[in-house]
Amino acid sequence: MTVESTAAARKPRRASKRTSAAKKPQSAEPQLVQLLTPEGERVEHPDYSIDLSADELRGLYRDMVLTRRFDAEATALQRQGELGLWASLLGQEAAQIGSGRALRDDDYVFPTYREHGVAWCRGVDPTNLLGMFRGVNHGGWDPNSNNFHLYTIVIGSQTLHATGYAMGVAKDGADSAVIAYFGDGASSQGDVAESFTFSAVYNAPVVFFCQNNQWAISEPTERQTRVPLYQRAQGYGFPGVRVDGNDVLACLAVTRSALERARRGEGPTLVEAFTYRMGAHTTSDDPTKYRADEERAAWEAKDPILRLRTYLEKAGHADEAFFTALDEESETLGKRVREAVRAMPDPDPMALFEHGYADGSSLVDEERAQFAAYQASFADSAKEGK
Amino acid sequence: MAVEKMSIAKALNESLRHALDTDPKVLIMGEDVGKLGGVFRITDGLQKDFGEDRVIDTPLAESGIVGTAIGLALRGYRPIVEIQFDGFVFPAYDQIVTQLAKMHARALGKIKLPVVVRIPYGGGIGAVEHHSESPEALFAHVAGLKVVSPSNASDAYWMMQQAVQSDDPIIFFEPKRRYWDKGEVDTESIPGPLHRAVTAREGSDLTLVAYGPMVKVCLEAAAAAQEEGKSIEVLDLRSMAPIDFDAVQTSAEKTGRVVVVHEAPVFYGSGAEIAARITERCFYHLEAPVLRVGGYHVPYPPARLEDEYLPGLDRVLDAVDRSLAF
């Protein structure tokens, strides 16, 4: 198997030296597949091409802007005490919208807990994502409504579910594909290694989409690997490719190509989207403890939304009216999300006993009855009090 | 075939065959389950008859086996996975506890996980380390899982049928040292509910509560006690999660004395749960404290010591005597 790479790609530059004890493992940064530079220049690539209409380009821009607006609203809602926690995707919009828009309706997505942009592409109502962060459920949307599985919190577990699902797709003789999202931290998990093994030996139609956002909470990618992550695929016998994760066009083109490969029955692909987590790991995290401001600033110059806006403007694909309308749409979305979260009721206490088992359980029945009687005892004493 | 005498191993094989034959969504997955038919030959001949797509030899990675089975279940399949030995299940423990057990609730009931995890368990076969353990309590404690174990060929056949039909994940513990014990199996009878205990022997002086491999030991103990004029009832629990506490209570109220027997360590074992429930439900019916006989709080010993570790006839009878002496 050959590892796909490119001669035309640019080298990403790190602004600061890491404080990590580990030395930089690779002598030079591997090259990235890139179709849109940080300066908003369209560049060509020998292996990946894309030809989008102005309408489609504006669509990608709109997706990224609205996802970022939703994300910002969720962060604000956490600060206001409406959510217990939020895992921001800030900076990763291109990786998620590019890959998400490469999918067909019949494809299936297995996300981590940060794939708000992919959820957006799948048509999952953003407010559905917030229940678990508010604490009213652990997810709760119907995965089969949008072929978007529930968020998986334990790192890397979902790559095996994606692989099994893809094995089922192949058994059914369907030409759908499956995509598994995970991060640089998860790449160290045994489940990810096992999913590479299983998908390779069964030739499962799955794309492993790794968003290498450089940080697993406080640990830099150097703490997870001595080789560029995309090169891991080679040892399992399938191709790996590193794409500029802040370039929505490249992410779309590379993911589309990997999905098509899966559909043709040629098995898995590992895509490493090289990006950056601009915010904290979650709202509970404090990145000032472990990384330098200069690093973030350098990545800010590679912002995924800004570069597409520059291109849209230069190419004359979008006018001021478009951007103004989108601003308004963003604010409407923010307001809708805010109102929906505030209106989200706490679950009924008896919901504790729902959904533990599909076929029910005598043990749960017994405890439900005990709890109901206990609850009812307060109603009785309240009456007596009056 | 209607009534036939067969071993537990054969009954399981026939049951799996029936499941594959009647539901195209049923799959068997595991290490060496194909050509070899499993290290205990429980899946013997199934790959030959149903093909490599339905009886799947997997890479040697237990988490991968269970994790991909979850994905297949999400796609609409009904995987039956084999964990080769009890002590090998722990690499899959995370997938079982964190994902398999909780995913139905996580989705507020919108998806189902009809996965059966077969685990040959228990000691008494003179094996090396990790081949003789009884980890059932570690699974019974986890909400979202159901845990069962047959003690005889008929239950092996029917409980497997019911486990495969269940829309909940089932951990199916197979008493490996009883695999070759034979019994009558009526493949046309109508079985009772999967999670119902059954009275394996009627008695009036004391109740032995057991499941899986210990039911046979308890029946032998009851027969031996009979010679001394003691009437011992044996309750075969069959399901360790949920437990049929109504049946336990009925028998405890009838005899007033209960001894719980299992191979697993007594400490935090299912005997503790049963003893507590009996105390809560029928304290005033008791003539003696509920006693427990089981493994010790030590790693499962080398084969030459396992007869000292495992509850045998004498240790069960000793507990019977202590209870009756109260």
Give me the DSSP letters along B195-211.
T--EEEE--SSEEEEE-
CB B311 within 8 A of CB B294: yes
pLDDT of residue A384: 60
Q: Are residues A232 and A266 in the same domain?
A: yes
pLDDT of residue A22: 43
Which residues of chain B does A352 touch, with a Cβ-Cβ cutoff of 8 Å?
Answer: none
Token pair 């597949």 is found at A33
Contact B67 A160 (CB under 8 A): yes
C-alpha dist (Å) from residue A134 to A5, A89, A348, B160: 42, 17, 15, 41
Q: How far apart are CA A7 and CA A15, in angstroms?
A: 23
Q: How far apart are CA B291 and CA B294, in angstroms?
A: 10
C-alpha dist (Å) from residue A75 to A133, A150, A270, B205, B214: 11, 20, 31, 66, 56
pLDDT of residue B321: 98
Q: How far apart are CA A135 and CA A351, in angstroms?
A: 13
Nearest by CB to residue B71, choosing from A141, A144, A160, is A160
Which residues of chain B, if any, have pLDDT below 50? none
Cis preceding-peptide flag for B242 (omega within 30 of 0): yes
Q: Which of B131, B141, B195, B285 is catalytic?
A: B131
Which residues of chain B does A144 touch, with a Cβ-Cβ cutoff of 8 Å?
Answer: 110-111
Q: Are residues A316 and A338 in the same domain?
A: yes
Model pTM?
0.94
In a domain, A191, yes or no: yes
In a domain, A168, yes or no: yes
Q: Where are the domains of chain B?
A: 3-186, 198-324
CB A133 within 8 A of CB A152: no
CATH 3.40.50.920 fits B198-324, yes or no: yes
pLDDT tens digits along B11-44: 999 999 999 999 999 999 999 999 999 999 999 9
Q: How far apart are CA B186 and CA A283, in angstroms?
A: 60
Q: Are residues A331 and A375 in the same domain?
A: no
Q: What's A36's DSSP letter?
A: B
In a domain, A13, yes or no: no
Q: Are residues A198 and A241 in the same domain?
A: yes
Q: Does A197 touch chain B (CB under 8 A)?
A: yes
Q: Are residues A338 and A356 in the same domain?
A: no
Q: Are residues A320 and A376 in the same domain?
A: no
> A317: domain range?
54-342
Encoding tokens for residue B49?
């008859």
- Report the domain count for chain A: 2
- Residue A311 catalytic? no
- Amino acid residing at B134: S
Contact B99 A161 (CB under 8 A): yes
Q: How far apart are CA B186 and CA B123, in angstroms?
A: 28
Helix and strand element counts for chain A (H, E): 13, 7
A241 phi and psi angles, rounded to 5 deg: -145, 140
For A88-222, where are the alpha helices, taking DSSP H only?
A: 93-100, 116-122, 126-134, 143-146, 157-172, 190-201
Kind plus residue range of the DSSP H or E element containing B7: strand B3-7
Give pLDDT tens digits along chain A (386 positions).
333 444 334 444 444 444 444 444 444 566 899 999 999 999 999 999 999 999 999 999 999 999 999 999 999 999 999 999 999 999 999 999 999 999 999 999 999 999 999 999 999 999 999 999 999 999 989 999 999 999 999 999 999 999 999 999 999 999 999 999 999 999 999 999 999 999 999 999 999 999 999 999 999 999 999 999 999 999 999 999 999 999 999 999 999 999 999 999 999 999 999 999 999 999 999 999 999 999 999 999 999 999 999 999 999 999 999 999 999 999 999 999 999 999 999 999 999 999 999 999 999 999 999 999 999 999 866 666 54
For residue A318, the tally of other CB atoms under 10 A from its CB is: 19
Q: Is A28 exposed, middle or buried (0-12, 13-18, 19+ CB in 10 A)?
A: exposed
List beta partners, residue A49.
Answer: none
Mutate to test the interface with B, among A108, A171, A199 (most CBs of B within 10 A): A171
Contact B195 A198 (CB under 8 A): no
Token pair 């092996």 is found at B156
List the CATH number of the domain containing A107.
3.40.50.970
CB B34 within 8 A of CB B56: yes
Which residues of chain B does A154 touch, with a Cβ-Cβ cutoff of 8 Å?
Answer: 94, 98-99
Q: Are residues A371 and A306 in the same domain?
A: no
Interface of B with A in 49-68 (CB under 8 A): 53, 58-59, 61, 63-64, 66-68
Q: Are residues A279 and A301 in the same domain?
A: yes
**Nearest one of B299, B314, B325, B302 to B134, comparing CA atoms:** B299
Encoding tokens for residue A89?
């995707």
Q: Are residues A104 and A130 in the same domain?
A: yes
* C-alpha Rg value of chain B to the nearest Å: 19
Question: Under 8 Å CB-to-CB from B215, ≥6 apart: which residues?
Answer: B151, B152, B200, B234, B236
Q: How far apart are CA B46 and CA B27, in angstroms?
A: 11
**Nearest one of A205, A208, A185 to A196, comparing CA atoms:** A208
Q: Are residues A185 and A204 in the same domain?
A: yes
Interface of B with A in 228-257 (CB under 8 A): 241-245
In a domain, A293, yes or no: yes
Interface of B with A in 129-188 (CB under 8 A): 143-144, 146, 166-168
Identical fold between B3-186 and B198-324? yes
Q: Does A84 touch chain B (CB under 8 A)?
A: no
Which residues of chain A does B110 touch, with a Cβ-Cβ cutoff of 8 Å?
Answer: 140-144
Which residues of chain A does B77 touch, with a Cβ-Cβ cutoff of 8 Å?
Answer: 168, 171
Q: Are residues A310 and A367 in the same domain?
A: no
Minimal C-alpha gap between A352 and chain B (Å): 10
CATH architecture of the domain with range B3-186: 3-Layer(aba) Sandwich (3.40)
Q: Are residues A264 and A173 in the same domain?
A: yes
Residue length, chain B? 326
